[in-house]
Amino acid sequence: MDDARQQDDTKRMIEQIREMRVQMKALAAELQSKEETYKELLDTYTRLPKNVNRAVYTNRILDIVKQVKKQKVDINKVRAASLESAKID
């Protein structure tokens, strides 16, 4: 009876080892993928300009906001004109 129990324990341990090997392979592949992503991001980061200051970004944002406001005004003008022409028809 002890031999049967020991064989069952051994089979269970062997199965666990196989599962762990599959997990190890999956984790190794995931690690390699993440290392490649890290290298790509690091390369992108090193190519970015380092001397850009906050004022430049602030000015860009303000310019974009001005453009959006102008576009809203133009859209409202077109909308009003189309409503006006619809009333005439």
CA dist., res. 64 & res. 56, Å (int): 12
CA 10 to chain centre: 44
Question: pLDDT of 15-65, one tens digit each?
Answer: 999 999 999 999 999 999 999 999 999 999 999 877 778 888 899 999 999
pTM, full prediction: 0.48
User: Which amino acid appears at position 71 of this protein?
Assistant: Q
CA dist., res. 13 & res. 52, Å (int): 59
| Sequence spans of domains, the chain | 1-48, 52-89
CA dist., res. 1 & res. 13, Å (int): 18
